Chain A
Amino acid sequence: MVNVPWTARLALRALKANKMRTLLTMLGIIIGVAAVIAMLAVGTGATQQLTEQISSMGSNLLIVLPGSTTSGGIRMGAGTQPTLTAGDAQAILEEAPAVDAVAPVLSGTAQVVYGHQNWSTGIVGTTSSMLTVRDWPLAQGRGFSGADVKNATKVCLMGQTVVDNLFGDEDPIGKNIKIQNLPFTVVGVLSVKGQSAMGQDQDDTIMVPLTTAQRKLFGTAFPGMIRIMLVKAKDTSELDNAQTQITDILRQRHHIGQQQDDDFTVRNLTQIMQAAEQSTKIMTLLLGAIASVSLLVGGIGIMNIMLVSITERTREIGIRMAIGAKTWDIRFQFLMEAFIMSMIGGIGGIAMGMSGSAVLSKIAGWPVIVSPFSILLAFGFSGAVGIFFGFYPAYKASLLNPIDALRYE
């Protein structure tokens, strides 16, 4: 039969009687909770950013590069031989059942001019599949038509960064620009994608039809050559199948014998990114765990102060026992004090952690995210710390001998 509101009032009164001490004790919890919140915010922010980058890259993505990698990871002339062609891309699309779309890429860097403005940017020769593979919708205009690729027309799609630098506020659709002094018509603008996982601005790009790039911009001695292929698998579960199928098809097309190494490399980008995401998550937990050590120290502070307080108030405990306080009345009273201290500390810590995170993101420019989960966690954790570290002192108080407690000087 414990009276909770009364015990809470009692506890508050006892805490107020020693304001400075209470404040200092709570400071331990405040710092601990703030550290947990801030660390989790930094970790969650990093994870979130990575997740966004993964989805901005396109889902279920494989990348096929020319050249092989040995088991030691040393590139064996990758990219030196024109091992990939548009025909390979077409074959993969047609013959690999696990593959949804294939975007061949022949890219380079070029100077782009519009009126008096000029800008140097990456030119990507590709097909309309690129937009599917990378989950990259158009913001305005149209994509490449079949005729564009077939006839190698001089049209282009423009990333937002290029638009901003060349056109400012002007509408770029239908305007003519010059790429390497060849006139191109802007037919579409790509939607904003932001930074890539490697920190590149993905919107600083121009797409042209693959054939146009091959014949008019980056012509080589090998007609039909492409640099890389981006392949979208039908489903995440099909990524491995797609990888095997691509390997088989390319080995066959490139006439590679049983004992020979591949002259190309298939990378599972989604897997790589997911691994990175996983390790960021683990790092987040690790940061949180390290931060919670300070919360633990705060808890020990509470225990320490509660023990001091109980010694000081032995006589009060004796009086309470003499007039009928039972074991749990006493225990609950001191538990409540510890609990209230850690809860108020927890709230203060959450406030401090949130403002600290905000400052971090402002000053350091980190993407911090204070998740409701971390607040709940910190709150629950500080309450648990209060009860855990408050229990021993409360237990000790409740086992005092009433007569000894009453006589205590």
Chain B
Amino acid sequence: MALIEADKISKKYTLGDVEVNALRDVSLTIDKGEFVSIMGASGSGKSTFMNILGCLDKPTSGRYLLEGIDISGLDRDELAEIRNVKIGFVFQGFNLLPRTQAIENVELPMFYKGVATQERAERAMDALSMVGLETRAKHYPNQLSGGQQQRVAIARALVNEAPIILADEPTGNLDTKTSVEIMDLFQRLNVENGITIILVTHESDIAEWSRRTIRFMDGQLMLDEERKATHG
């Protein structure tokens, strides 16, 4: 059974008279432990696809199976639970809560899961040291650099031991050196922890870290190629 199975997924937005086909009949499977990059021109539907994979959005038509479960049959709270335990999100804009310490940001998913206080603190600290930020636990987002903020976001994505990390342009706001650090972190999580990583990027340098690249064009899947990892 594939971890992720998309079957003829389409997403249509209607803005007044105009219809936008953000995704058209996208079918693909991703297995556990894969490291996939998604590329394509701006507006080609990458984010739309990621949002559907992340159970933040539902397709207009088609079926999406996550670990064999059809997502379309689930209600809000069941989807929230999947996002909580199965999926870790990493966004281009980091999306940390303002006025909230790094460690509290990392603890957040565990609160919604109902993890006990003691364990919560320990696991949050573990996740922070995994991304090399144990000394910045008490810092607020505005006291951290972009790369550090993104690493806090990655720690937050890891903390509930989600098997999948979805990253929409995670290095989009970072310089080359920091991007490399982040990609290195993703690679380690993929190789050492067996976490499935799917990331959207515009840069082929970044895509080269992955072992499979999917290319979108006008909402359609154009290319799906495997490659030998060039890094690590």
Contacts and interface: CB of A to CB of B under 8 A. Distances in A.
Interface of A: 1, 3, 6, 13, 17, 315-316, 319-327, 329, 402-403, 406
A324 B54 contact: no
B99 interface: yes
Interface stretch (B83-91, B172-180, B181-189): B83-91
A322 B97 contact: no
Most central of B77, B112, B113 by chain A CB within 10 Å: B112
Given A320-B108, A321-B80, A403-B51, A13 B85 contact: no
Contacts of A329: 112
Given A323-B89, A324-B84, A326-B77, A402 B56 contact: yes
B222 to A, nearest CB: 24
A326 B156 contact: no
Contacts of A321: 56, 80, 83
B80 A324 contact: yes
16 contacts: A316-B97, A319-B97, A320-B108, A320-B112, A322-B54, A322-B83, A322-B95, A323-B156, A324-B109, A326-B77, A326-B80, A326-B81, A327-B76, A327-B77, A402-B83, A403-B51
A158 to B, nearest CB: 74
Interface of B: 51, 54, 56-57, 76-77, 80-81, 83-85, 89, 91, 95-100, 108-109, 111-114, 156, 160
Given A1-B114, A319-B95, A329-B112, A324 B76 contact: no
A326 B80 CA distance: 6
A3 B113 CA distance: 10
Most central of A1, A13, A323 by chain B CB within 10 Å: A323
Top 6 A-B residue pairs of the complex, sorted by shortest distance between their CB atoms:
A324-B84, A324-B112, A1-B114, A326-B77, A326-B80, A323-B109
Contacts of A1: 114
Contacts of B54: 322
B199 to A, nearest CB: 16
B200 to A, nearest CB: 15
Given A319-B97, A324-B112, A406 B77 contact: no
Nearest to A318: B95
Contact of B112 (A13, A17, A325, A403): A325
A323 B56 contact: no
A7 to B, nearest CB: 9
B112 A323 contact: yes
A402 B113 CA distance: 18
Contact of A323 (B84, B99, B114): B84
Contacts of A402: 56-57, 83
A153 B77 CA distance: 94
Contacts of B98: 316
Contact of A3 (B77, B84, B95, B111): B111
A274 to B, nearest CB: 58
A327 B96 CA distance: 20
B112 A326 contact: yes
Contacts of B89: 322-323
A406 B56 contact: yes
A324 B99 contact: no
A323 B156 CA distance: 9
Given A323-B156, A325-B112, A326-B112, A403 B57 contact: yes
A238 to B, nearest CB: 67
Contact of A17 (B51, B57, B96, B99): B99
A324 B113 contact: yes
Contacts of B108: 320, 323
A406 B95 contact: yes
Contacts of A319: 95-97
A333 B45 CA distance: 34
Nearest to B94: A319
Given A315-B95, A323-B109, A326-B81, 19 more contacts: A3-B111, A3-B114, A316-B97, A319-B95, A319-B96, A320-B97, A320-B112, A322-B83, A322-B95, A323-B84, A324-B84, A324-B109, A324-B112, A325-B80, A327-B76, A327-B77, A402-B56, A406-B56, A406-B91
B83 A324 contact: yes
Contacts of A13: 99-100
A322 B109 CA distance: 9
Nearest to A16: B99
A324 B85 contact: yes
Contact of A322 (B56, B76, B99, B160): B56
Most central of B81, B96, B98 by chain A CB within 10 Å: B98
A6 to B, nearest CB: 6
Most central of B95, B113, B160 by chain A CB within 10 Å: B95
A222 to B, nearest CB: 92
Contacts of B85: 324
Contacts of A324: 80-81, 83-85, 109, 112-113, 160
A31 B108 CA distance: 37
A272 to B, nearest CB: 64
Contacts of B80: 321, 324-327
Nearest to A401: B57
A6 B54 CA distance: 27
Nearest to B80: A326
Contacts of B97: 316, 319-320
A316 B81 CA distance: 18
Contacts of A326: 76-77, 80-81, 112
Contacts of A327: 76-77, 80
Contacts of B83: 321-324, 402
